[in-house]
């Protein structure tokens, strides 16, 4: 019996690895005189708000040594998981605004403000479904006939995967019931075991099971098909106009970091992303790297916050 997935597209797009003076703190700080020429002068701390082995951690460990080589300083990864990235983000927010403490930001950096999440994990419930669907159209039709009776798993309450499922609810009028897990691995285990029928998952952990026909991919959540799974249609292609939800990664510095440091980091990160071997590694993990300016990343994050705030409000979610 096959289980079902909505693949959550992981991209380093419009976003990925741009740097900006992050607005993690509203306090005004006096910028020291730092130029791209004399920065950096010491070790850089790279905060990853996820446990070792997770998607953010894996990506950071690919980026860090290449960035260190270009900067001429060590880039030390510091894993600070918990609270959908809030714990790690707070560390960076309280660090000196000097460019020596960076954050591996992901989609939750935008969804957390939208949900107001603090400690967003609940105990998972068990289910034993079997769904006669092969695509998103079939899922929506079945869900409309069985309102409130079908469930979908995600990596946690308030996570970007959770909100991607809620976006489908909002746009179609269906009522898929969210089943939160403490991360993607236990959720995938339960989907494979038949305890929950559907999951919104990032590509990397799910693709081996899709390729072995243990899981069926119903759709990709991005606006365009993924190079990692070109045979899987997008949700929009399946008839849900306006649907797009992507998982992104990017690097942020403390608000008030001197422009010279930001300029240097942005320049070297763009060089890192241009490396052919890195692009090959990212493609294997389902990422599509794009680079750009700090200003573009800032605008993208703000648009993501606005978008997911509307989804949370429309879905009537209460997340504490």
Q: Which domains does the chain have, with CATH numbers?
A: 3-9+120-220 (3.40.190.10), 11-24+33-117+246-315 (3.40.190.150)
Residue at token pair 């997770």: 54
Nearest Cα to 146, choosing from 178, 179, 177, 191? 177
Query: Cα-atom radius of gyration of the chain, to the nearest Å?
Result: 20
Task: Give the DSSP H or E segment for 171.
Answer: helix 160-172
Which residues of the chain are under the pLDDT cut of 70?
A: 1-38, 116-132, 193, 320
Q: Is 147 in a helix, a strand, or coil?
A: coil
- Taking the model in full, what pTM does it have? 0.65
CA distance 110 to 245: 12
pLDDT of residue 94: 80
Q: The dihedral of CA 67, 288, 290, 84: what is its sign?
A: negative
CA dihedral 193, 198, 203, 204 (to 10 degrees): -20
pLDDT of residue 121: 22
Q: Is 184 in a helix, a strand, or coil?
A: helix
pLDDT of residue 75: 87
Count of residues making up the chain: 320
CA distance 244 to 179: 21
**Would you state the structure tokens that stand for residue 24, as one six-digit string?**
């993690």
pLDDT of residue 2: 46
């Amino acid at each position: 019996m096959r289980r079902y997935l909505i693949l959550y597209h992981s991209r380093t797009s419009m976003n990925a690895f741009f740097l900006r003076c992050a607005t993690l703190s509203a306090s005004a700080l006096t910028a020291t005189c730092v130029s791209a020429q004399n920065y950096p002068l010491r070790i850089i701390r790279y905060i990853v708000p996820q446990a070792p082995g997770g998607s953010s951690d894996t990506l950071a460990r690919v980026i860090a040594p290449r960035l260190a080589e270009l900067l001429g300083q060590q880039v030390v990864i510091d894993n600070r998981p918990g609270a959908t990235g809030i714990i790690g983000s707070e560390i960076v927010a309280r660090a000196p605004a000097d460019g020596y403490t960076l954050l591996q930001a992901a989609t939750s950096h935008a969804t957390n403000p939208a949900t107001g999440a603090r400690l967003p994990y609940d105990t998972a419930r068990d289910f034993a479904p079997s769904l006669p669907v092969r695509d998103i159209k079939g899922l929506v039709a079945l869900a409309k006939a069985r309102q409130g009776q079908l469930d979908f798993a995600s990596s946690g309450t308030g996570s970007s995967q959770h909100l991607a499922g809620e976006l489908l609810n909002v746009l179609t009028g269906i009522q898929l019931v969210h089943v939160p897990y403490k991360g993607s691995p236990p959720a995938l285990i339960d989907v494979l075991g038949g305890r929950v029928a559907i999951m919104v998952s990032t590509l990397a952990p799910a693709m081996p099971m899709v390729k072995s026909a243990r899981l069926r991919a119903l759709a990709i959540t991005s606006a365009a098909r993924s190079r990692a799974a070109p045979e899987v249609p997008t949700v929009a292609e399946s008839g849900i106009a306006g649907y797009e939800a992507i998982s992104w990664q990017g690097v942020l510095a403390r608000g008030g970091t001197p422009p010279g440091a930001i300029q240097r980091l942005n320049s070297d990160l763009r060089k890192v992303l241009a490396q052919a071997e890195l692009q090959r590694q990212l493609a294997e993990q389902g990422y599509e790297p794009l680079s750009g300016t700090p200003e573009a990343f800032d605008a993208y994050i703000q648009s993501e916050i606005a978008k997911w705030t509307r989804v949370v409000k429309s879905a009537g979610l209460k997340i504490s």
